[in-house]
Structure 1
């Protein structure tokens, strides 16, 4: 009865003005977070008035777009570079705003027609496409770099070499991946919102999918909030406040979600070389700054910095137990424990897969003049971080099964105690 009454209410307005507000809101949120983070990182000092282009490039990479590095140092010199990194603080800000705007007209109703949902999503997608085109075209700049006062500088002055480094967004690929990103945000928002309307044919899947999806989103946000508290404490007690705020505004989820997977037992392979570093605690940089690719996991962290990193394991166990309990509590009472466990395992595995795909880093830049200076300090470097994917997914499935069973048992015990108190 309640579902039928809710579906009879007049549909909320979701025309072009509402779609424009949703898209502009997402862009403003992403642009503001990116600009503040880049300002804290010192990007305003880049030459040639490149700051607006760097902000646009950061937003492009935040939605999965591609920014290509290029260089020209003349016939006697060479440059190389590549960059694959997603500033997930910017990504999260845009996803929250766009997802909220998409859900706003769909709340307080149980049913929405498929044509209504498709039309509403299409309006947002058309405007988002235009925004992506503008961002991709704006995300390009070139500027000169100094060779310094050493041997490279002397050679550059002798041969009249002036290295030029630039970047530009790959427009077709950025538009394509940006639209896929938008589709993912809208689907996750619809699945994770318990109160958003669904087409009538999908209502029967809601109780099976929505509690786990909603809980996984809360788990990811909880990890970010915990990491934020730790980062603010470090900034207040150990200095380097500006650098810490740069990490918060550009890569806080990168750190938080990496820590979440490491606490589950996952291993990431990585290397840090040259003047570059990772936006992470110093110990992680130490673990990875080796001549060869190194493993980053609980064991290597404990080996380098004592036993306090075991708290990641404890924190993950508490968070997953709470997530499983909330999932079971939001599900129908008659669902068996094994089904809760399977749903939790699948949801956690998909969440870890998303983290592994989005938190990886690959960055390299090199400069040489007559073969001198290649990978030299101050001019070149490399940062690499990638997960051992199948191990991470297997551990997520195992953790999900165990937490799912425990959460179902706790939810059942709470329900029984509630019934006893009512009697």
Structure 2
């Protein structure tokens, strides 16, 4: 039997259950606060039956990939339908940043970490995260009654026994499955992005080939969020609508700015808004989405309404060249320019894929009596927003190739780990 040394005990202490509890609790509190403030700004505190805490729980569940199902009933002579698929990416981003920082904190100032050590530390967090997911899943359940509008419609509803209700509940197995997968993705990405986090010996090659590109993509996404926050605050100050703007920032700002990132690359999204639904986006996009049965969102269609949309291309080019330069400057000097280009192309293609999968929106609600739809008008609606996936991913790869190569060339004068000869290019 091998005796435990003081250094071994110190490692265990840094990765113990108290640290795991703190990490998970801080992440949940941060996500809950962001969701609660966003929903408060959106007016959700006025929901009946003290449903606000349950709506906050549902927002956190969907933010980590969980599934919330809508249900509806309207009496024996009526039928209702409802569905909702949306991820509040502001809440998602908050949880990812806090969890990633908490996971990496005990590992700082280390050169190498063993696979078992990292697995044990991640397992502690996963066990507590599983318990938190179960608690949130069972808390996120509520039913609301809907008003039919004026008195005559209400009387008609009472006559036919129509009392429309809509509620939501959580799919517990799917919430647990996707919530754990989300956690695993966050922890792996945290290891890949951080320069100081130790890696097991077998994964040390990733230090050179993967980490600079992964870090560049995180910087790109956070830069877009910071820029979007600045623009939103300026709009709130100059044009008013501060509560609505705050709700967008705290619930769906990444949904909006990362959509703009893909459109600037040339990607196309298809969507429609019909009925009382709205989207957390500028009036321009909402106007385009309401103009046709199925509207197309890309640079050309948006430019027909506002030519300033072409500035998205300029913003994309500047930010991508900047992160490409950062990636090359943080890479070893022997890495050739074409290798930088390929790595950034793969990284940007995966990033665009992630945005397209997480940025989809779908919602619908309808009510009919005796087969006649939309009782009272305004009680039915539909919205969806979906990308043309593989063309968007291909455009991301193309932009990554070009900007990665140019960024590598621009970073050559600042090399610190060796020299690059013209033959290396």
Q: Could you state the TM-score of these two structures normalised by the residue count of structure 2?
A: 0.94
Deviation at 1:371, TM superposition (A): 2.9
Deviation at 1:150, TM superposition (A): 6.7
1:21 and 1:245 map into 2 onto residues whose CA distance is: 28
Which residue is 1:320 aligned to?
Answer: 320
TM alignment of 1:270-289, pairs within 5 A: 270-289=271-290
1:289 and 1:30 map into 2 onto residues whose CA distance is: 32
TM alignment of 1:145-224, pairs within 5 A: 145-149=146-150, 152-224=153-225
TM alignment of 1:85-104, pairs within 5 A: 85-104=86-105
Per-residue CA distance 1:127-167 (angstroms, 9 max, x = gap): 00000000000000112111111764342021232112111
Per-residue CA distance 1:93-148 (angstroms, 9 max, x = gap): 11100000000011111100000000000000000000000000000011211111
Distance 1:291 1:376, change over 3 A: farther
1:375–1:381 CA contact under 8 A, matched in 2: no
1:357 and 1:414 map into 2 onto residues whose CA distance is: 37
Which residue is 2:44 aligned to?
Answer: 43
TM alignment of 1:255-334, pairs within 5 A: 255-305=256-306, 307-334=307-334
Distance 1:376 1:199, change over 3 A: farther
2:414 and 2:144 map into 1 onto residues whose CA distance is: 63
Give yes or no for the alignment of 1:389 onto 2:425: no
1:108 and 1:343 map into 2 onto residues whose CA distance is: 28
2:369–2:375 CA contact under 8 A, matched in 1: no
Deviation at 1:401, TM superposition (A): 0.2
2:308 and 2:376 map into 1 onto residues whose CA distance is: 35
Other structure's SS at 2:367 match = strand
Which residue is 2:20 aligned to?
Answer: 19
Gaps of 5+ in 2: 1-6, 420-425
Moved more, 294-303 or 160-169: 160-169
1:20 and 1:365 map into 2 onto residues whose CA distance is: 40
Give yes or no for the alignment of 1:368 onto 2:375: no
Deviation at 1:300, TM superposition (A): 1.1
1:69 and 1:151 map into 2 onto residues whose CA distance is: 28
1:274–1:376 CA contact under 8 A, matched in 2: no
Which residue is 1:78 aligned to?
Answer: 79
Give yes or no for the alignment of 1:348 onto 2:345: no
Gaps of 5+ in 1: 1-6
Deviation at 1:48, TM superposition (A): 1.2
Other structure's SS at 2:210 match = helix
Per-residue CA distance 1:60-79 (angstroms, 9 max, x = gap): 00001110011111111111
Deviation at 1:378, TM superposition (A): 2.2
Other structure's SS at 2:169 match = strand
2:62–2:86 CA contact under 8 A, matched in 1: yes
Per-residue CA distance 1:299-322 (angstroms, 9 max, x = gap): 1111012x1111100000000000
Give me the CA root mean square deviation.
Answer: 1.7
1:155–1:369 CA contact under 8 A, matched in 2: no
2:115–2:200 CA contact under 8 A, matched in 1: yes
Distance 1:332 1:120, change over 3 A: same
Distance 1:369 1:151, change over 3 A: farther
Distance 1:366 1:223, change over 3 A: same
Per-residue CA distance 1:313-361 (angstroms, 9 max, x = gap): 0000000000100000000011111000000000000111110111110
TM alignment of 1:126-137, pairs within 5 A: 126-137=127-138
Distance 1:226 1:179, change over 3 A: same
Which residue is 1:4 aligned to?
Answer: none
2:52 and 2:206 map into 1 onto residues whose CA distance is: 47
Other structure's SS at 1:366 match = strand
Other structure's SS at 1:265 match = coil
1:26–1:98 CA contact under 8 A, matched in 2: yes
Other structure's SS at 1:38 match = helix
1:34 and 1:373 map into 2 onto residues whose CA distance is: 34
Deviation at 1:10, TM superposition (A): 5.5
Which residue is 2:62 aligned to?
Answer: 61
Distance 1:8 1:115, change over 3 A: closer
Moved more, 151-160 or 227-236: 151-160
